[in-house]
């Protein structure tokens, strides 16, 4: 083949071959680490790169031809649709954070860039989306923020509850050292006061170690626990070191049959923390009343602890059960119970129950509700803070 025939074949081959630019764009599309998809102006997916397959779980042949709404829940699609409409109508780029669904139904958070694609005449061909999974970054940020809150809250408890308890022990010890003559009764009272303060201090430290443990959570081991017997043991321990205020346990006739599946150690701590709060804040000479009863056709047990003291507002009750030293806006609040009642409520909820406080007209009643039966013998639970 010579002359014009050769030139014609060469020209035909050149025209049939893809341009360097087209090859470059195809290479970038296939090798890009970020997920890329291309949609027609009406939202139908027309191209899907390998990274999108890895991120979302759909093969190209599964998703090409599907509407982009397939990747969204109904709540999340509305925000995406507004950005997509802006890209198609105003031909403007937009960058935003969006939540998408994978093929398995997992909800992931991506950082997305939407770009309108036009031809040489300015006609809209569609919209490309480049998305990068930032779920891990968001989780890491939340974890960092949680650790910072934990640090502040730990310092708060150390500087208030722990410090106050140590100061109380020091004051009693100082009084003991500066008094030259003791009546036996005076000495007994001082020793009782020292033991009580030391027990409170030990409880605070134990709460701290539990809440701020390096372990990801706590494993609760359930076994049959007779509620009245456990209450009597806790009350006996607490009344042995303090005569005021008095603890009165109203035991029903059928209490011997009232048992719950519970982690005995954690349930004892729950009762101790609730009673400790009630005793400290009860008016002098007033009785802290404790009672138990069966509820809901004997499917659960209720323990009520009532004391006479200052009435608490709804906001104060929220703080009583909180571990938060600061609001989300950074304002200091100061958890009113340190970590005692926070841990008590967490324990009740970890057992499938609840702990609430009803406060009105100076009468405060803690209501502890526990299911009698657990579905399994043990459970690993995280302390959600």
Task: Render 82-101 in DSSP notation, one character per residue.
Answer: HHHHHHHHH---EEEEEEEE
Give the pLDDT of residue 144: 76
Give the pLDDT of residue 195: 65
Q: What is the mean pLDDT of residues 87-99?
A: 91
Give the pLDDT of residue 298: 76
Residue 293 C-beta-side C-alpha neighbours within 13 Å:
8
Please check whether residue 98 is in contact with residue 107, taking contact to mean a CB–CB distance below 8 angstroms: no
Q: Please, is 178 exposed, middle or buried when counting C-beta atoms within 10 Å of its C-beta (0-12, 13-18, 19+)? A: exposed
**pLDDT more than 70, % of the chain:** 67
Give the pLDDT of residue 10: 42
Give the pLDDT of residue 108: 92
Distance, in Å, from the CA atom of 239 to the CA atom of 241, rounded to the nearest integer, reads 5
Please check whether residue 87 is in contact with residue 114, taking contact to mean a CB–CB distance below 8 angstroms: yes
Residue of higher predicted confidence among 46 and 13: 46
Residue of higher predicted confidence among 277 and 154: 277
Q: What is the mean pLDDT of residues 68-92?
A: 91
- On the question of pLDDT at 175 being above 70, the answer is no
DSSP conformational letter for 256: G
Q: Write down the mean pLDDT value for the chain.
A: 80
Please check whether residue 207 is in contact with residue 337, taking contact to mean a CB–CB distance below 8 angstroms: no
Weakest-pLDDT range from 6-15, 177-186, 281-290, 335-344? 6-15
Q: What is the CATH number of domain 32-133?
A: 3.30.450.20
Give the pLDDT of residue 178: 61
Give the pLDDT of residue 39: 93
Q: What is the mean pLDDT of residues 302-325?
A: 86
- On the question of pLDDT at 157 being above 80, the answer is no
Contacts of 355 (CB under 8 A, 6+ apart): 270, 274, 321, 341, 344, 345, 348, 349, 366, 367, 368, 369
Q: What is the mean pLDDT of residues 131-147?
A: 83
pTM equals 0.54
- On the question of pLDDT at 148 being above 90, the answer is no
Most confident of 63-67, 140-144, 200-204, 358-362: 63-67
Distances from the Cα of 50 to the Cαs of 18, 32, 98, 366, 380, in angstroms?
A: 21, 8, 20, 58, 39
- On the question of pLDDT at 111 being above 70, the answer is yes
Give the pLDDT of residue 53: 93
Distance, in Å, from the CA atom of 385 to the CA atom of 157, rounded to the nearest integer, reads 15
Instruction: Tell me how crowded residue 350 is: count the other CB atoms within 10 A of its CB.
Output: 19
Distance, in Å, from the CA atom of 32 to the CA atom of 8, rounded to the nearest integer, reads 38
Distance, in Å, from the CA atom of 309 to the CA atom of 116, rounded to the nearest integer, reads 67
Indicate the pLDDT class of residue 14, thresholds 50, 70 and 90.
very low
Q: What is the mean pLDDT of residues 76-84?
A: 91
Contacts of 62 (CB under 8 A, 6+ apart): 103
Phi then psi for 308, rounded to 5 degrees?
A: -95, 120
Give the pLDDT of residue 219: 87
- On the question of pLDDT at 367 being above 90, the answer is yes
Distances from the Cα of 358 to the Cαs of 171, 248, 306, 311, 363, in angstroms?
A: 34, 19, 9, 9, 8
Q: What is the mean pLDDT of residues 71-78?
A: 90
Give the tens place of pLDDT for each residue, 177-226.
665 555 556 666 666 666 666 666 666 677 766 666 655 678 899 999 99
Q: What is the CATH number of domain 141-381?
A: 3.30.565.10
> The tokens of 366 are what?
């803690």
Q: What is the mean pLDDT of residues 364-374?
A: 95
Give the start-to-end residue ranges of the domains of the chain.
32-133, 141-381
What is the strand order of the sheet 45-48 is part of?
45-48, 35-39, 124-133, 107-118, 94-101
Give the tens place of pLDDT for each residue, 227-281.
999 998 888 877 655 445 677 887 776 666 789 999 999 999 999 889 988 887 8
- On the question of pLDDT at 6 being above 60, the answer is no
Decide whether 32-133 matches 141-381 in CATH topology: no
Give the pLDDT of residue 33: 86
Residue of higher predicted confidence among 321 and 177: 321
Q: What is the mean pLDDT of residues 115-133?
A: 91
- On the question of pLDDT at 138 being above 70, the answer is yes
């Amino acid at each position: 083949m010579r002359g014009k025939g050769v030139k014609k074949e060469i020209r035909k081959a050149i025209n049939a071959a893809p341009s360097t630019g087209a090859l470059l764009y195809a290479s970038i599309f296939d090798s890009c680490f970020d997920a890329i998809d291309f949609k027609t102006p009406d939202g139908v997916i027309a191209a899907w790169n390998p990274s999108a397959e890895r991120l979302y779980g759909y093969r190209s042949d599964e998703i090409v031809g599907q509407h982009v709404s397939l990747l969204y829940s109904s709540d999340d699609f509305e925000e995406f649709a507004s950005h997509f409409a802006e890209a198609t109508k105003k031909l403007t780029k937009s960058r935003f954070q969006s939540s998408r669904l994978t093929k398995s139904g997992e909800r992931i958070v991506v950082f997305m860039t939407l770009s309108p694609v036009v031809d040489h005449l300015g006609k809209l061909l569609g919209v490309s989306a480049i998305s990068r999974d930032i779920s891990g970054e968001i989780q890491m940020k939340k974890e960092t923020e949680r650790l910072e809150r934990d640090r502040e809250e730990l310092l708060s408890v150390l500087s208030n509850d722990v410090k106050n308890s140590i100061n109380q022990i020091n004051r009693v010890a100082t009084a003991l050292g500066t008094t030259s003559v003791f009546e036996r009764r005076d000495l007994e009272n001082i020793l009782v006061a020292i033991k009580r303060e030391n027990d409170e201090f030990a409880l605070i430290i134990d709460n701290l170690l539990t809440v701020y443990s390096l372990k990801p959570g706590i494993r609760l081991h359930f076994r049959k626990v007779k509620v009245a017997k456990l209450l009597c043991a806790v009350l006996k321990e607490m009344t042995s070191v303090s005569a005021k205020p008095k603890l009165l346990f109203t035991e029903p006739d059928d209490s011997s049959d009232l048992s719950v599946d519970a982690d005995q150690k954690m349930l004892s701590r729950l009762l101790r923390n609730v009673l400790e709060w009630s005793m400290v804040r009860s008016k002098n000479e007033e009785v802290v009343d404790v009672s138990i009863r069966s509820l809901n056709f004997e499917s659960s047990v209720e323990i009520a602890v009532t004391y006479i003291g200052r009435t608490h507002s709804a906001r104060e009750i929220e703080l009583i059960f909180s571990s938060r030293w600061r609001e989300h806006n950074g304002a200091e609040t100061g958890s009113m119970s340190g970590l005692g009642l926070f841990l008590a409520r967490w324990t009740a909820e970890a057992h499938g129950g609840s702990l609430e406080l009803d406060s009105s007209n100076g009468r405060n009643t803690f209501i502890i509700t526990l299911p009698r039966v657990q579905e399994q013998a043990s459970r690993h639970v995280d302390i959600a803070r």
